[in-house]
Amino acid sequence: MDFTPIINQVLNATWYLIPLFILISLFKTPWFKGIFGEFQVNVCLRLFLPNDKYHLIKNVTLPTQDGSTQIDHVLVSQYGVFVIETKNMRGWIFGSTHNKQWTQKIYKYSTRFQNPLHQNYKHVKVLESCLNIPLESIFSVIVFVGDSTFKTDMPTNVTYAGGCIRYIKAIDTEVISQEQVHNIISIIEAGRIVPSIKTNREHVTHVKKIIIAKSNEKLCPKCKSIMVLRESKKGRYAGKNFWGCSTFPKCRGIVNVT
């Protein structure tokens, strides 16, 4: 019996599902989550802050001595320069100002990530070296979007999208002249690396090298992502530590602790 007509009918009926599956897979990638998180914050800033007082510059990549640093949003006003780092995450978030790493917990799985305050501090220092204004006029802001909940007390500059607007509006003392605002915008626009796929790829490669060098963590044998130290919760290995892929459950790479 010739099954070719049946196979052709099935393929003709389901071909449109292939782009849908590709699109769904794209939505789950860290890259898309980062882009979507920045888009949410961008919309929030433009909607709830007056454009004549706050000037938004997004996706700013600046050269540094050892490579580059990428800032999600720079908001320039007479009240100061706000350096905004966006985190699109879900689950419970644990951390404090002085911890080198914070923890994201989703059900029984925990993942550690760089303290975003420390990450944004480098952005602030790079801007300070470029702009002729005191450090006290530059404000670091961390914005979490997505289905995440803080489980430890956070400083006022670590907040959600709505809290970000309130934090910025609460700083209402003019410390920069209008002329300085225009100069700062010009300096940032002139000094930034032109946004492109190549620029982003080179920056991502640079960041991965720094993370690996600083954390001295293992790479997953399956996908080459950074591995994190975890603890078995059940079974005969309960209480034992092991290295698990940081992208779990997307990748289930495991390395035993030796």
For residues 221 and 203, membership in a common domain is answered with no
Q: Where are any strands of DSSP class E within 133-183?
A: 138-145, 148-150, 158-160
- Residues 56, 155, single domain; the answer is yes
How many whole angstroms separate alpha carbon 188 and alpha carbon 82? 13
The DSSP 8-state label assigned to residue 220 in this structure reads P
Q: For residues 203 and 46, give the distance between their C-alpha atoms in angstroms, rounded to a whole number.
A: 26
Residues spanned by the domain of 229: 217-258
Place of tokens 């500059």: 157
Question: Tell me, what's the pLDDT at 116?
Answer: 95
Quick one: pLDDT at residue 104? 94
Radius of gyration of the chain (CA): 22
Residue 100 shares a structural domain with residue 228: no
Residue 2 covered by a domain: no
Cα–Cα distance, 207 to 238 (Å, whole number): 34
pLDDT in tens, the chain (258 residues): 555 665 556 555 555 555 655 555 544 555 445 565 677 888 889 999 999 999 999 989 888 776 778 899 999 999 999 999 999 898 999 999 988 899 999 988 889 999 999 999 999 999 998 898 889 999 999 999 988 999 999 999 999 988 999 999 999 999 999 999 999 999 999 988 865 545 455 544 544 454 444 445 577 888 767 778 787 877 777 778 888 887 787 788 888 876
CB count in 10 Å sphere of residue 86:
26
**Is 51 contained in some domain?**
yes
Q: Are residues 180 and 225 in the same domain?
A: no
Q: Is residue 4 part of a domain?
A: no
Count of residues for the chain?
A: 258
**Residues 221, 208: one domain?**
no
> What pLDDT is stored for residue 156 in this prediction?
94
Residue 210: the pLDDT is 44
Contacts made by residues 201-204, CB under 8 angstroms, sequence distance 24+: 202/67, 202/68, 203/61, 203/67, 203/68, 203/69, 203/70
Helices and strands: H and E segment counts in the chain: 7, 12
One-letter identity of residue 10:
V
Q: How many distinct structural domains can be found in the chain?
A: 2
- Cβ-contact 185, 76 below 8 angstroms: yes
